[in-house]
Structure formats: C-alpha cells, structure tokens
Structure 1
Amino acid sequence: MPLAAMAGQATSASFGHTADGQDVQIVTLTNSHGVRARVMSYGASLQSLWVPDRNGKLADVVLGYDTLQGYLDHRQYFGATVGRYANRIAHGKFTLDGKSYRLSLNEGPNSLHGGAKGFDMRVWKVLDVKAGAQPSVTMEYVSTDGDQGYPGTLTIKANYTLSDDNQLKISYLATTDKPTIVNLSNHTYWNLAGEGSGTVMDQALMIPGDAITPVSDAAAIPTGQMVPVAGTPYDFRMAKPIGRDIRDGSSQQLLFGHGYDMNWVLSRKEIEPHVVARAEDPQSGRVMTVWSGKPGLQFYSGNFLDGTTVGKDHHVYRQGDAFVLEPQLFPDTPNHPDFGSARLAPGQIYRNVIVYRFGIDHTGK
C-alpha cells in the first residue's frame, strides 16, 4: 500500500462564531483505520471520537452537541479542557506565598473548573495542524494575570495527537510569569457503546486507587482525609459494572454526589504515566485504557444529566448515560498541604499528559 494511503489526515474548518464574533475552528484528525477525532477551539474540547467495535463498526463515544451553539448555550464541560484549576476550590479562596486570593464563584460558595469563565469557555488559538503518521492539532490560550482571580499570566498549550494504533493523546503544558496554581484536565463524557445509546451502568470500570478523598457534604469539598476503598462501593481495584454498587444507600458519599463524583488516590505524588483507569463495554467489546502520571482521578458517573439535554442527533442524555474520568491533582489541594502542591513558578513547566488507548475485547458477545 502506498505510504500516502497509510498517512493520517488532519483538516480544519470553521465550526461557527461566538456571540462576540470570534471564529471557532474544528479540526478533524483521522488515522489509517478510519478512527477520527474532532477537536474544537472553543474550550480546546474533544467534540467527537469515532472508534470501532468488535465487528469493526464505528461509533462516536463522546457526548456533546452537533453545533457550536449547543456548547455556547449549555455549560456542561462536554469534552472540555478545564482550568485554571480543575475541580473545586473551597469558598474560592487560597493562600500562595503568604498572599490570599479570591476566585470567581460558580458553584454555590465554591469555585469549580476555573470559575465563572474558565478555560472551557474560551476560544483557543490554533497554532498548528499536522497530517502524517500521527495527525495532531496544537492550540494555545493565554490567561492574563488576575483572570478569574488567579495570579500570573499563564500560557497554556493543548496538543491532541491521534496515533495509528488508536491512541488519542492529550498533552497540556503551561508556563507562568509569576507564582500561581495550576491543575488542568480533560472533561470528556464517555459512553463506550456510543453516545445516545443509553446507560453506562453495565459498562465495567477499573480504577487502581486504594483510597478516596471523601467530601463533607453535597458541596463536594474534601475533608482532607484519605479513606481506604476496601469494603466500600468505591473499590474498583477489580473491574466491576459502574452500576453494581451505585444504589448503596448506606454510602453517604454516594448520597452527596447522587452517584459517583469523587477523587481516587492513585499515588501520593506525581509519577511516570501509568494506567489510571480501564473501561469496557461488554456489548460492543470496546475497551478504553486511560494513562496519566497525576496523583488523583476524579470519577463522575453522569449523575446530573437530567433528561433536559438534547445532544447529537437529537439524543436525550439522562442520568448515568456517560462517565467522566479526569486525571488531575486532588480537589482543593491549595487548601490542604497534605495533598501536595499545585504551585507553578516562573521557569517551571506544568504538564499533564493523558493517553486514551482504545482496543477490542473479542471474548464477549
């Protein structure tokens, strides 16, 4: 087969405009097997990802909207890059180098995923689109000093690369001109049977974390403890269906979150990338393995999809129709010294590299 036929493709087109007239680009990355990812510059977001089942049939395994307007009208973090600080910061307050900062609040008394206008709501600049063996797109956003209350001008690059062995790699790099805090992650809603196909409660999940960071109430702020998962509904060290224990009414954490919405402790510090989760759909045979080096993984079971969201192809998304896996630092780390540090100083480079590897289990139906 000619080399040109084996090469991956990368194309860019306009996906629409924001209310203030900014053009939003959508970049389609396709490998030689027909696997394709669409990444839009609004929120540096994964808009769709088509991967094969055990019979070779492609399906889009990412929840979202067919048009830009859906994302503009409904802030649900579908596929988005979240930051400057992914997850929650209690009362939108933290202290860095002896100085106190107040962030914009957007979830009751707390700041979630960067505040009222996080990176998910920004139009990123498309720096580079590359075809070839590993088609990719690189986007950049510059968050100015004081943006949403955060100190320092932060320059962030997000790179999406699709390999010929059906891996999608997202690399986040950030630098700052003065000390700040950073925690970036991706917030894709996954359904390995295909978006709009219904519940993910029968899909099997493995998370190798031996503890969670429990929260004190429905506001989902960590208590500062690390509680072992052994003997609890949060034990996913051996793969099990997502829905097996989700209705355990004796679990206060499940009641707080209306299902799973908590941080798993994968390590006590940042380490080399390793498997942080493995999900499998027994019907289609699709398997997704997630790799990262971050110490925490937020697992959310789509609890607040309430049947009012009409997504792609007019599909209505209901509770439990997707799951989210966010490799990151622990929630509210700046207010819990025992959790480590989210500090980034000038001259340092923040990194979060997340790899999604897709395969097939041929032993099922």
Structure 2
Amino acid sequence: MKIEVRDLEKSWKEYTLTNDNGMQVNVLNFGGIITKMLVPDKAGNLENIVLGYADYKDYQTNPNYFGALIGPVAGRIANSQFTLDGQEYKLENNEGTHHLHGGSTGFHQVIWDVEPFEKVDAVGLVLSYNRDDGEGGYPGNVDVQVTYTLHQNNQFEISYTASTDKTTPLTLTNHSYFNLSGNLRHSLHEQHVSIDSDQFVELDEELIPTGELLPVDGSPFDFRSARPLGDGFNASTDQNRVAGKGIDHYFIFNENDKETKVTAADPVSGRKMTVQTDQPGMVMYTSNNLAEGLELQEGMSRQYLGVCFETQASPASLHHEGFPGVVLKPGEVYQTRTLFEFGVL
C-alpha cells in the first residue's frame, strides 16, 4: 500500500493511491477529481476504467464533470431557486434557466485541503473544504469532509460528512464515468447493469423532474435484473428522447436490507463492480450528451463511452413532495457513504 504525490501547476496536486494488488486511484486536490482508476480484468491486466482527460489542464473547465466531487447540491435545481424557512434563495443559471451541480463555484471547482493517511489494510485521503455563507447563493457556513479510501481487497470507498450553521440544501456525489472494458476499449452497449429500483423519476423537456414517479416495469428503465445498458439507452420512449437518446434519470432504491444497490459488469474483460450505498437513490447517466473530439487518456471521447452512478438524495424535493430530502439543519450531521467493490465474473 502506498501514496504518492505529484505537484502540478496552480497549486494543484495529484495523489496516487495504490494497494498491493496493483489497483490504483489517482485524485486531484482540485475538485476532488478522480482522474484514473486502474483495476485488474479476469487475466489480471490492470487498465483504466474511468474517463479522464489526456491533459490535466482540461479539468479547469471540465463541463462533463469527469470524476469530480459534486456539491453543494448534485443535480438540477429547477429555475435556479428554492425557498427555505420562508426565505427565497436565487442561484446561478448555469444550464438554461436552471442550476446544475452547484454552479460555476461548485465543489468541483475548488481546491480542497488534503490529508493523506495510511493504515494496515488501506490508504486514503481526507478532503476538507469550508464553504462560506452566501457562496454560490447558498445559505450557511458549511464544513465538508470527503474521505477516499482504497482498501486492500479492491474496494474503493467514498464517505461524506458535513455540518452547517444555517438551514441549507446539501447532497453530495461523485461524477466518475465508468467503463469496465478497460482503457475505453468498447462503448457501454454490452456492459451489463442491475439496479435495485422499482421506480424512476419522470423528466420534462429540460431534464427537470415533473414530480411524478414512474414504474420501471415494462420500460427500458427496468434494470432489476442485469441487462445490457444498450437495451436501456437505445429505446425510443419519450423519457429516453428528453435525455438525449439515453438515460439521465434518478432511480429510487427499493427499501430493503440489500447493501448492494447496483452491479455492473463487462462480459469481455470480465470486470465486475458492485455499488453499496446508504443513499436513497442515484442518477444513472449513460453519457448521452458527451461530445465527440475531447482528448481522453486512451483516445477520443464519444457518446455512450462511460456511465455515472451518482448516489445521492434528490434536489426535486425542494419543489415536490415525496422525494428524498436534501435539507441540512444546524446541529445535524450529514453523513453518508458509497462503496465500489471490484472483482471478476
């Protein structure tokens, strides 16, 4: 187990976590961005399974949020406004008339304080950031800690902790794009995914939740049994169409005692990933709107090249009843974790 640090420009640093199996995770202090994740296939070959830029300077803008920590609120806030305790707050419009992923001053755009740690069976990083009251239009001084832990058994854990001195919306996630084929060898079409979810959230033409929950039964969004992702995003329903011929929807996890909420596998490489989380749901995004022509580490970008599993609560709860809430109050502690475990078929 080891940790290495490389100094880049603009006070940026890149941390490399490696376990004794050779699994490796690279992280920037800028945006908490995961730039690379090397995982063995069925033959033991270590290859990168996340999308990342060939030139780290491209993370400065990073419109696709590759690998980034997302906050204060992951997802879209309708009309860039919300009301808490009788007071209305207006946020930046950074996607049409709506507010996406914390805006231009979101957590993906800040330099985090990083404290590396080493244990007998794990190495990791504690990332800390103190958001000032009013920053980005959000209320409250908020202290945030995000811990990345690479375990010896090829588990990668992200745990989030936060507190505030004013009532404020908060739901954090990581925006890594996974492609288990390794080194972007194939698109997502034949990669198999299962999701422990009976319901997903209906979107309008601007990708804003309508307030309606739809049953997955009989739809392209039914991943209760593992199936190729292409079966889901190649469908021609209205919900696929509004998402840019794909999936960019919030799935509400079923309430049960299952720790594993998502599985993903690539039948060619044999890589398998399971996602365990205590979050109430997640956005699955199949990179429908990923533009062509971006220089990535293993080639050029194209549609359907990576899938995001954005475990989080739902910002739709700021405008609709019946959605997992995102409001954090003084005296409360925001605490959640998501664990990615890697193996082979």
Please, what TM-score do these two structures have when normalized by structure 1?
0.91
Gaps of 5+ in 1: 1-7, 18-22
Size of the aligned set, in residue pairs, is 344
State the superposition RMSD in angstroms: 1.5
Tell me if 1:336 matches 2:336.
no
Query: Which one has the bigger strand percentage?
Result: 2
CA offset digits 1:97-140 (Å, max 9, x no partner): 11111111111010000012211011111133335420011111
Tell me if 1:44 matches 2:32.
yes
Partner residue in 2 for 1:143: 131
1:290 to 252, 266, 275: 275
Letter in 2 for 1:296: G
1:10, 1:29 within 8 Å by CA — same for their partners in 2? Answer: yes
Partner residue in 1 for 2:162: 174
What is the CA–CA distance in structure 2 between the aligned matches of 1:65 and 1:248, rounded to whole Å? 30
What is the CA–CA distance in structure 2 between the aligned matches of 1:273 and 1:127, rounded to whole Å? 32
Percent identity at matched positions? 34
What is the CA–CA distance in structure 1 between the aligned matches of 2:267 and 2:186, rounded to whole Å? 14
Q: How does 1:188-337 map to 2 (within 5 A)?
A: 188-217=176-205, 219-249=206-236, 251-258=237-244, 259-267=246-254, 274-313=259-298, 315-337=299-321
1:296, 1:327 within 8 Å by CA — same for their partners in 2? Answer: yes
Letter in 2 for 1:230: D
Tell me if 1:65 matches 2:53.
yes
1:184, 1:328 within 8 Å by CA — same for their partners in 2? Answer: yes
1:327, 1:354 within 8 Å by CA — same for their partners in 2? Answer: yes
Letter in 2 for 1:226: L
Partner residue in 1 for 2:42: 54
1:196, 1:317 within 8 Å by CA — same for their partners in 2? Answer: no
1:106, 1:112 within 8 Å by CA — same for their partners in 2? Answer: yes
Letter in 2 for 1:309: L
Tell me if 1:165 matches 2:153.
yes
What is the CA–CA distance in structure 2 between the aligned matches of 1:24 and 1:170, rounded to whole Å? 21
Secondary structure of residue in 2 paired with 1:244? helix
Letter in 1 for 2:30: Y
Deviates most, 290-299 or 335-344: 335-344
Secondary structure of residue in 2 paired with 1:223? strand
CA offset digits 1:50-75 (Å, max 9, x no partner): 01000000001010124320111432
CA offset digits 1:37-59 (Å, max 9, x no partner): 11111111111110100000000
Gaps of 5+ in 2: none
Letter in 2 for 1:123: I
